[in-house]
Amino acid sequence: MRSFDRATSRLPRRWRIAIDWLATIAAAIVVVLALEAEVAKPYRIPSESMEPTLLCARPGAGCEASMSDRVIACELCYRLGSPHRGQIVVFRAPAAAVSICGAGGTYVKRLIGMPGNTIHEDDRSFIWIDGRKLSEPYISASARTEDTRYRGQTWHVPQGEYFFMGDNRGNSCDSRAWGSVPRSSLIGPVVATYWPPTRLTLRLFDLS
């Protein structure tokens, strides 16, 4: 660093300022790229399955917003800790999702069932985990009313796998259709909504 300072000290002041700015910007870019590669990555919400918690953009079917929410998933979090029920998680969808939902790739949904859990959806679309009713304040009354397809069904989550559902229950193609997801397919929990600015939300408490 000292040799760098000595080398630039002979330059005109405006050149030194420009070089300082370029060095700062280059360092910032390196940090951002390192974070994106190892810690966190941005994702766009493509569908209505998480409405109104996460919004997708019109003219998509069922979308409420003019711009899709963009979120950050913490990839490092699942290297250091374990998934928790209630987290919104980015994951790689099982192969069956392509034929059943019409799209594969990366999904964003809420973690409902943990390894070994037995999940039941009753005749009013409330979810029960191992015989206990799950509190879900994030589900709207209308979403529960529209959710009729899976009423009365029960699923068992194998060891090492996780069960996901969308908050927009009547309009979500999720684990109820294509099954549970292995731990290796989980990318990370959503820790923030960063775009559009009016939707800025931090979900750090979801990690505890």
Catalytic residue among 47, 68, 109, 175: 109
Mean pLDDT of 68-88: 92
CA dihedral 24, 30, 34, 35 (to 10 degrees): 40
Q: Is 82 a catalytic residue?
A: no
Burial annotation 2-21 (CB, 10 A radius, 16+ → b, else e): eeeeeeeeeeeeeeeeeeee
SS3 category, 105 = coil
pTM of the model as a whole: 0.79
User: Over 90: is that where the pLDDT of 127 sits?
Assistant: yes
- pLDDT per position as a tens digit, 22-58: 666 555 444 444 455 556 788 899 899 999 999 998 8
Catalytic residue among 9, 41, 47, 49: 49
Q: CA triplet 167, 168, 171: central angle to 5 degrees?
A: 140
Residue 190: CA count within 13 A, CB half-sphere: 28
Q: Is 49 a catalytic residue?
A: yes
Q: CA triplet 92, 93, 96: central angle to 5 degrees?
A: 150
According to the model, what pLDDT value does residue 9 have? 58
- For each of the domains in the chain, give its residue range(s) and CATH number, in order of start: 2-37 (no CATH), 44-207 (2.10.109.10)
User: Over 60: is that where the pLDDT of 129 sits?
Assistant: yes
